[in-house]
Amino acid sequence: MADLDRLQQELGNLLQLCRGSDQGCPIIDGLDASAE
């Protein structure tokens, strides 16, 4: 399951990059909303 852990870490990095950008990440924000 090491691959899954690595994928989750990569996704977390992408989330941080998107949230740190000026335009934000509407697609990922939508995914977050649907996951709740």
Residue 15 has a pLDDT of: 79
Residue 32 has a pLDDT of: 63
25: burial class by Cβ within 10 Å (0-12, 13-18, 19+)?
middle
pTM of structure: 0.46
Contact 2, 8 (CB under 8 A): no
pLDDT tens, residue by residue, 1-36: 689 999 999 988 887 877 776 766 666 666 666 656
